Amino acid sequence: MGEARGTQVEIEVTGIAHGGISVGRLDGRVVFVSDAIPGETVVAEVTDDSKKSFWRADTVRVLQASPHRRDHVWAEASVDRAPEDRAGGAEFGHIDSAHQRELKRQVITDSLQRMAGIDRDVVVEALPGAEDGTGWRTRVRLHVSESGVVGPYAARSHRVIPVESLPLAAAEAQVIAPLSEQFTGADHIDLVVPSVGNPFVLQGSADRKERPKAQRIVERVGDREFRLDVRGFWQVHRDAAQTLTTAVQDAVDENLFDPRAANLDLYGGVGLLAAAVGDRFGNHVRITTVESDPHATDHAAENLAEWVGANAVTGRVEHYLRGVLKDAGAAERDRLTRATVVLDPPRSGAGKQVVDQLAELSPQQLVYVACDPVALSRDLALFAGKGYDLTGLRAFDLFPNTHHVEAVATLVRR
Ligand SMILES: C[S@@+](CC[C@H](N)C(=O)[O-])C[C@H]1O[C@@H](n2cnc3c(N)ncnc32)[C@H](O)[C@@H]1O
């Protein structure tokens, strides 16, 4: 180990791994190759040979191209550049859009199989918008180098890459992006394009004590408006909020839904998915949305204010559930066993503690919105062990030209 780093190897890549990296083998060893496509033969430069069982490498030349290869949608991320100068965040941009979705399908079905023993196929559905998957990001974070240059990080590094374009960004963000300006004192720049009103350029500081001023924006989803802080969480693709609203509404089995049960929207943000449930079943629905960010919960309370049965709680989900398990009386426990629980955790998933707590509460059905298929598969395996079957699964290409994919799973108590 240690001698191969920096050398170039010829390799045939045969599969796709979680994280959007292609996989090949060299002398029996697994090699994870960036910027390739399964089926291709490439010359790749070894970047990490510190492990015995696998290496990492970056494609530097394509010898035999996949029929799915296209010119990268972002010239500044193209394989024509030196790997360290390629802009990060568009690692599938050299693959035609339909094949990106096919690779994401493979990652989902493979992780369900390997981690949860579930054999289930899924279609990764495209969202409205440009066929080449550009122009969708309503939130963009750029970084500022020590010398004040603004740009994205390079793939797998914290090196700021100067760029002249941001093709994945919504057109409004492309117009306001300060790509040729110098910044001093800022650590990062956020571009925010709400669906209502003007876009924002926000400077961010690395100093956590410097709390930015709260600033309210409005996002519209169908006929509904959501208020939130300009720096608060909101779904990034311009059609994501609507897509997930409809997907969650469709994922709930109405025969198992009880409007008077103690329904939950966990990791609720500003109440988007609680509203989805309420808008499907009526404003007499009882639902509690739980979110750790107090600003988001304040907005959730306001966004759901017209709704008598809705309640917004600030707290970590695991703490909230612990409290419920400890304090709920028999009647409330009964309302929980009849409940529908929507959960939309961050990338790391709900995890064992929350799965155990939910299983103990024993709700009727769960709708799990997941942005990481591996974390989802791990949690589905845990839920299966607690008596929950996967009864529905859809997947959406919420992050075109990246390896990320969103899934919506329905789980029903046996
Ligand atoms: C993927 S977002 C989903 C938000 C919302 N469902 C939506 O679609 O707008 C996850 C949310 O969970 C919150 N969060 C992260 N960890 C949490 C935890 N342990 N307990 C409660 N909320 C958490 C984050 O602040 C974020 O708002």
Does the pLDDT of residue 179 top 70, yes or no? yes
CA atoms within 13 A on the CB side of 57: 32
pLDDT for 208: 67
> What is the average pLDDT across 372-394?
98
- H-only helix segments in 9-158: 97-116
Evaluate: CB of 316 within 6 angstroms of ligand 1: yes
Give yes or no for residue 406 having a pLDDT over 70: yes
Average pLDDT, the chain: 96
Quick one: pLDDT at residue 5? 95
Whole-angstrom CA distances from 61 to 30, 45, 82, 132, 222 are: 19, 9, 10, 23, 46
Token duo for residue 395: 């997947």
Distance CA 28, CA 35 (A): 21
What the chain holds in terms of domains, given with CATH numbers, is: 8-69 (2.40.50.140), 104-130+222-413 (3.40.50.150)
Q: Relative to the CA of 354, which ligand 1 atom is closest?
A: 19
In this predicted structure, the answer to whether residue 1 has a pLDDT above a threshold of 70 is no
Cross-strand pairs, 189: 142, 203
**pLDDT score of 211:** 73
Residue 344 Cβ contacting ligand 1 at under 6 Å: yes
CA of 338 to the centre of ligand 1 (A): 24
Q: Assess contact for 138 and 173: CB atoms under 8 A.
A: yes
Burial 308-335 (b: 16+ CB within 10 A, else e): ebbbbbbeebbebbeebeeeeeeeeeeb
According to DSSP, the residues that pair with 23 across neighbouring strands are 15, 32
**Measured CA distances, 181 to 53, 122, 141 (Å):** 45, 44, 15
| Percent of the chain with pLDDT strictly greater than 70 | 99
Indicate the top mutation candidate among 224, 231, 235, 292 to test ligand 1's pocket, ranked by most ligand atoms within 8 A of CB.
Answer: 292
The CA distance from 362 to 358, in Å, is: 6
Bridging pattern class, strands 216-221 and 224-229? antiparallel
What confidence score (pLDDT) does residue 253 get? Answer: 98
pLDDT score at 301: 98
Looking at ligand 1, which residue's alpha carbon is closest to its atom 6? 268
Pocket test of ligand 1: the residue of 267, 313, 324 to mutate, having most ligand atoms within 8 Å of its CB, is 267
Burial of 213 (0-12, 13-18, 19+ CB in 10 A): exposed
User: For residue range 111-168, what is the model confidence (pLDDT) as tens digits?
Assistant: 999 999 999 999 999 999 999 999 999 999 999 999 999 999 999 899 999 999 999 9
pLDDT for 405 beyond 80: yes
Q: Does ligand 1 have an atom closer than 6 angstroms to the CB of 357?
A: no
The tokens describing 336, both together, are: 């929980």
Kindly report whether the global pTM for this prediction surpasses the value 0.90: yes
Determine the pLDDT at residue 212.
79
What is the C-alpha to C-alpha distance for residues 259 and 285, in angstroms, rounded to an integer? 4
Residue-wise pLDDT tens digits, 230-277: 999 999 999 999 999 999 999 999 999 999 999 999 999 999 999 999
pLDDT tier for residue 99 given thresholds of 50, 70 and 90? very high
What residue owns the CA closest to ligand 1's atom 18?
316
Whether 107 has a pLDDT exceeding 70, the answer reads yes
pLDDT at 185 over 70: yes
pLDDT for 320 beyond 70: yes
| Ligand 1 lined by 292 (C-beta under 6 Å) | yes
pLDDT tens, position by position, 51-96: 988 999 999 999 999 999 999 999 999 999 999 999 999 999 999 9
- Amino acid 43: pLDDT: 98
H or E stretch at 172 = helix 171-176
